[in-house]
Amino acid sequence: MFLSAPFSRPAAWAVLFSLSTLTGCGSEDEKDEPAPLPGRWQLVTQHSINTDVTTGQVMVEQHLAGTTGDYLVVSASTFEEYRGNQLYFTAPYTYSGSIISMQDTNPRTDFSREVGELTSKKLVLYYQLPAIVMNQKVTIEATYSR
C-alpha cells in the first residue's frame, strides 16, 4: 500500500500539513522591508582594509566599533557625516540603484558610497577613502543602525 497506516487518517495529514507550513514561516523580526535612506544613522561597526596599491597586499585590517559621536544625517538632498560629534563632511547627493553619488567642490573630492543593505533599521555602506596615503588605498565597510 502507498500510504502507511498512520498517514491514512485525516488527523495525521492535518498535523503533517501544519508542521510543514510552520517551518516555511519566519518571524516578523527576521523580515525587514527596504526603507528610505533619509534619517539619522548611528555607526555600529567599521571594517577597514589598507592595501598596497602596487602589490595588492593587505597592509592593515581593522574592525572598529562606532561611538555615540559617529553618525550620518541624511536629508532628501544632503549627506552629512559626523565623527566624534564633529561634522567631517557635508555634500549634496543623488541616490540611484545602489550608489550614493557625492562630490565635494573644494577641493573636488569623491565621497560616493555603495549601499550594500538598506532596511528600516540597518544600512551597510562600502566605499574607498578619497585620498591615497603612503601608496595605500583604504576600503571601508560601515554598518549603521537607527
**pLDDT at 9 > cutoff 60:** no
Question: H-helix or E-strand containing 11?
Answer: helix 10-23
**pLDDT score for 62:** 94
* Residue 93 in domain: yes
Q: Is the pTM of this model over 0.95?
A: no
Give the model's pLDDT for residue 96.
92
pLDDT recorded at residue 1: 45
Residue 69 forms part of a structural domain = yes
Max Cα-Cα span within the chain: 81
Residue 120's CATH number:
2.40.128
pLDDT at residue 143 greater than cutoff 60: yes
pLDDT at res. 20: 44
Query: How many other C-beta atoms lie within 10 A of the C-beta of residue 140?
Result: 15
For residue 135, tell me if it sits in a domain: yes
Question: pLDDT by residue (tens digit) across 11-46?
Answer: 444 443 444 444 445 444 445 566 899 999 999 999
Q: Is residue 34 part of a domain?
A: no
For residue 76, what are the contacts with CB-CB under 8 A and spacing of at least 6? Answer: 38
**Tell me: the pLDDT tens digits for 46-66?**
999 999 988 989 989 999 999
Does 1 map to a domain?
A: no
3-class SS at 85? Answer: coil
Distance of alpha carbon 129 from alpha carbon 140, whole angstroms: 7
Domain tally, the chain: 1
Cell numbers 518571524 correspond to what residue?
A: 27
Does residue 103 sit within a domain? yes
pLDDT of residue 32: 58
Could you read off the pLDDT of 84-132 as tens digits, one per residue? 999 988 999 999 999 999 977 666 678 899 999 999 999 999 999 866 7
The pLDDT of residue 136 is 87
32 assigned to some structural domain: no
Domain that holds residue 127: 39-145
**CB-based burial, 6-20: b 16+ in 10 Å, e otherwise:** eeeeeeeeeeeeeee
Q: Is residue 84 part of a domain?
A: yes
